[in-house]
Amino acid sequence: MSTPHATAHLVDDETTGVPTFEASGGDWSDIAEEAARLGEERIVVNMGPQHPSTHGVLRLMLEIDGETVTEARAGIGYLHTGIEKNMEFRTWTQGVTFCTRMDYVAPLFQEAAYCLGVEKLLGITDDVPERATVIRVLLMELNRIASHLVCLATGGNELGATTIMTVGFTAREEVLRIFELITGLRMNHAFIRPGGVAQDIPPGAIDTIREALSSMRHYFKQLEDLMLANPILQLRLKDVGYLGLSGCMALGITGPVLRSAGLPYDVRKAAPYCGYETYDFEVPVATEADSWSRVILRMEECYQSMNIVEQTLDRLQKMGPGPVMVGDKKIAWPAQLAIGSDGMGNSLDHIKEIMGTSMEALIHHFKLVTEGFRVPAGQVFQTVEHPRGELGVHLVSDGGTRPYRAHFRDPSFNNLQAVSIMCEGGQVADVVVAVASLDPVLGGVDR
Amino acid sequence: MTDEKTGQEKDAAAAVKPGDAGTGAQKTSEAALEAGGQNVPAARTPLEVVDVRQGMFGAHGTGDTSGYGGLVVPVVLPGPSERPYGGWFDEVVDVLTEVLDENGTGFANAVESVVVDREELTLHVAREHVVAVASALRDDPDLRFELSLGVSGVHYPHETGRELHAVYHVVSVTHGRRLRFEVTAPDADPHIPSTTSVYPANDWHERETYDFFGIVFDGHPGLARIEMPDDWPGHPQRKDYPLGGIPVEYKGATVPPPDQRRSYS
């Protein structure tokens, strides 16, 4: 291997000889005293990467003066696993299994964006069955609720409001139970596949989701009672983490943070995919551009999502059973899944058919699974409205059975650039609030 | 694998292909490579021959007894499009031409080609003019691509002199449009002017592209690695950088790492 652009070790001459203070527990005033004794004016505090309030392995470097943050920088990369590189070595279908693990709180959005991109490259966007598209919308909107609930719950927990966390996670449990029913898994589903979805929703799922929706509404009522009239929460969140519209546009911030600054930009409306133009929903906006308005927006978005989920349920009920994968057998994944005694797996009937009666079906199954399908050369960029903003997928194909390049523009990655501008000049304690209002998920940031 | 065994395989390869007794392996002739290069849709001029693939199963040289060794497939990305581009694409290109010609950059100097593929517009921009094009796209009221969705790099090692590509995705919220512009740099001189002065959002994205591809964005405020550790040698997303990985053994069988498995080229 040649390393034409290897970089040298990071050597910072300015940091040698600078006194360091290590705090793990203990009394903060001791450190402050020692710093005062040494006459050190500039204190740099390293927050994370192992810190419970940084949503994972986010490292925040804060230069503080007393309790005021004078400079803030975010350091990332602690969860980089090379998913994009790995995807270049698997088939187009296997790629779903990888990209679902990026932002693990909202896995179905990566799957959907990636599959829409592959379908655009293949030129089969219009051939995807209606039922598959409706199931995708159903899953994505449920996932949006689950993701926002995690944001609200952990955001509350970081401020010490444990009940907000327990209620939020209990409500999310309802969504995860639906996911387990439909996809077999609570996360890392790999359920949306190029050409459709892995299988149809199981019988009885529509009624289960309707019941879950009503209990979710009950939990949301509890969350609202806990949060919206809570004076402590309001004091902590209002006017904290301010980022105005011009700042958002310059930094490419999208999602609830941009909408809290007053711009109703939502990819579902701006560049509809999966037939979002046919659904009746609104894009909530606020103008305060602070952490409190982002909490309210996320709650309102959850109600809009529940509204869309109900519309998808009506459509699924109306259209009845039908295909959930493209008709082209050279693309459609041949596996017929079924729930067996040991969990979900290949349907025994399908195995019996290909092993026992149809040699051609066996060959076809084998070729498609091991070799995969070929995708015409070219590149596409597909975006979807992720709970955290605009998720973009840049796919390049060289006409082979594997992606030549798959790049994910993760909204959390981009939005973390706003940490500096949101935190500088504020208090150390407000850093936690501001970062929570960005809602970064480090699996997506680092990929 | 010992030398002796390689020799035996050579003999076996020679035996199954009596017509090609010279070397044993099926060699692709220059003529076939050239003929393969002509298998390009006639309507378009080829722009980027990304790769020329030979054979089928990733086996090359003596090991290929598949009979597919003579297969030559050029990999060609969509070439420049002809007018009309369709939809608002013509309008945007017209306005951009006007703006760039007016401010002295010159559309012909700055934009190498316009590609419309799969209902998406790509402008291939000369690297010395990327900042001028970006600010024209952002500032002109009829263009107003005010939101940048970042930069992604692509490495095409076979495109001599244009190996490294940086692809910029921009959105016009005002007009509800989106396009991308693509800039290339040779491996020998991996420098592209930074667009952070126009789109501050590209700060981290350019750092990421530098980290993974080694493209140096001149004028970037702090071009440091972002995902990989600071002392990491090499740029992992480049095609000459191996995936790594170790074989996995399970119940006596060995599964090779993904980059060493059979590839259906």
For residue A7, the model assigns a pLDDT of 42
CA–CA dist A138, A158 (Å, integer) = 30
- Best A93, A124, A251, A259 member to test B by mutation, with max B CBs in 10 Å, is A251
- By the CB < 8 Å criterion, does B207 face chain A? no
B118, B174 Cβ separation under 8 angstroms: no
Judge whether residue B39 has pLDDT over 50.
Answer: no
- Contact pairs from chain A to chain B, CB under 8 Å: 148
| Cβ-Cβ contacts under 8 Å for A364 (sequence gap 6 or more) | A329, A334
For residue B77, CA distances in Å to A388, B52, B139 come to 33, 12, 31
Q: Parallel, antiparallel, or unpaired for β B120-125 and B177-185?
A: parallel
N- to C-terminal Cα separation, chain B = 24
For residue A4, the model assigns a pLDDT of 40
CA–CA dist A286, A294 (Å, integer) = 8
> pLDDT tens digit string along A309-342?
999 999 999 998 888 888 888 888 776 666 666 6
For residue B70, CA distances in Å to A374, B55, B56, B264 come to 19, 6, 9, 14
Judge whether residue B7 has pLDDT over 70.
Answer: no
For residue A52, the model assigns a pLDDT of 61
Q: Is the pLDDT higher at B13 or at A403?
A: A403
CA–CA dist B30, A117 (Å, integer) = 36
Q: In angstroms, what is the C-alpha Rg of chain A? A: 24
The burial class, CB within 10 Å (0-12 / 13-18 / 19+), for A302 is buried
Instruction: Give 3-state DSSP helix, strand, coil % of chain A, rounded to 5.
Output: 50, 15, 35
Please list, residue by residue across A158-168, b when 16 or more beta carbons sit within 10 angstroms of its beta carbon and e when fewer do.
bbebeebbebb
Q: Parallel, antiparallel, or unpaired for β A389-397 and A405-409?
A: antiparallel
CB contact under 8 A, A1 and B234: yes
- By the CB < 8 Å criterion, does A86 face chain B? yes
Chain B nearest-CA residue for A404: B154
The residue with tokens 């943070």 is A257
Chain A nearest-CA residue for B146: A249
Highest-scoring range by mean pLDDT, A267-281, B9-23, B250-264: A267-281
CB contact under 8 A, B75 and A377: yes
Tell me B44's DSSP state.
S
Cα distance from A360 to chain B (closest Cα, Å)? 20
CA–CA dist A88, A199 (Å, integer) = 26
Overall average pLDDT of the B51-63 stretch: 65
Closest CB to B117 among A6, A80, A378? A378
Residue percentage of chain B with pLDDT more than 70:
75
Q: Which residues of B touch A270 (CB under 8 A)?
A: 171, 173, 176
Closest CB to B190 among A5, A271, A371? A5
Chain B nearest-CA residue for A372: B264
For residue B265, the model assigns a pLDDT of 62
The burial class, CB within 10 Å (0-12 / 13-18 / 19+), for A12 is exposed
In 3D space, the residue among A187, A103, A150, A104 whose CA is nearest the CA of residue A409 turns out to be: A103
- By the CB < 8 Å criterion, does A10 face chain B? yes
Chain B nearest-CA residue for A399: B75
Chain A nearest-CA residue for B158: A398
Q: Which residues of B touch A415 (CB under 8 A)?
A: none
In 3D space, the residue among A124, A391, A408 whose CA is nearest the CA of residue B118 turns out to be: A124
Average pLDDT, chain B: 78
The burial class, CB within 10 Å (0-12 / 13-18 / 19+), for A419 is buried
For residue A339, the model assigns a pLDDT of 65
The segments of chain A whose pLDDT lies below 70 read 1-26, 35, 38-41, 51-54, 335-344
> pLDDT tens digit string along B132-171?
999 999 999 988 999 999 999 999 888 888 889 999 999 9
For residue A12, CA distances in Å to A18, B81, B92, B230 come to 11, 50, 47, 12
The three-point CA angle A110-A111-A117 to 5° equals: 90
The pLDDT-based confidence of B63 (bands split at 50, 70, 90) is low
CA–CA dist B4, B10 (Å, integer) = 10
Q: Dihedral of the CA atoms B45, B51, B57, B60 (nearest 10)? A: 130
Q: Which residues of B touch A59 (CB under 8 A)?
A: none
**HSE on the CB side for B179, CA within 13 Å?**
30
- Best B44, B118, B228 member to test A by mutation, with max A CBs in 10 Å, is B118
Q: Parallel, antiparallel, or unpaired for β B216-218 and B191-193?
A: parallel
B197, B219 Cβ separation under 8 angstroms: yes
In 3D space, the residue among B197, B210, B218, B113 whose CA is nearest the CA of residue B152 turns out to be: B210
A436, A275 Cβ separation under 8 angstroms: no
Q: What is the ipTM of this complex?
A: 0.85
Q: Which residues of A touch B53 (CB under 8 A)?
A: 400
Cα distance from B13 to chain A (closest Cα, Å)? 24
Cα distance from A307 to chain B (closest Cα, Å)? 25
Closest CB to A85 among B214, B237, B263? B237
The residue with tokens 């698997």 is A90
> pLDDT tens digit string along B84-119?
888 888 899 999 999 988 888 888 888 888 988 888
Residue A133 in tokens: 């598209």
For residue A406, the model assigns a pLDDT of 93
The 3-state DSSP class for residue A59 equals: strand
For residue B118, the model assigns a pLDDT of 87
Chain B nearest-CA residue for A123: B118
CB contact under 8 A, A409 and B263: no
For B120, the enclosing helix (H) or strand (E) is: strand B120-125
| Cβ-Cβ contacts under 8 Å for A12 (sequence gap 6 or more) | none
In chain A, residues 259-298 whose CB comes closer than 8 Å to chain B? 263, 265, 270-271
Closest CB to A405 among B154, B205, B226? B154
Q: Which residues of A touch B148 (CB under 8 A)?
A: 252
A110, A443 Cβ separation under 8 angstroms: no
CB contact under 8 A, A390 and B201: no
Cα distance from B169 to chain A (closest Cα, Å)? 8
Cα distance from A293 to chain B (closest Cα, Å)? 22
Tell me A201's DSSP state.
P
Backbone torsions φ then ψ of A389, nearest 5 degrees: 140, -155
The 3-state DSSP class for residue B147 equals: strand
In 3D space, the residue among A92, A155, A110 whose CA is nearest the CA of residue A397 turns out to be: A92
CB contact under 8 A, A1 and B148: no
Within 10 A of A120 (CB to CB), how many other CB atoms are there?
21
Q: Dihedral of the CA atoms A166, A171, A177, A178 (nearest 10)? A: -160
In chain A, residues 12-71 whose CB comes closer than 8 Å to chain B? none
B111, B123 Cβ separation under 8 angstroms: yes
CB contact under 8 A, B264 and A401: yes
Q: Which residues of A touch B78 (CB under 8 A)?
A: 377-378
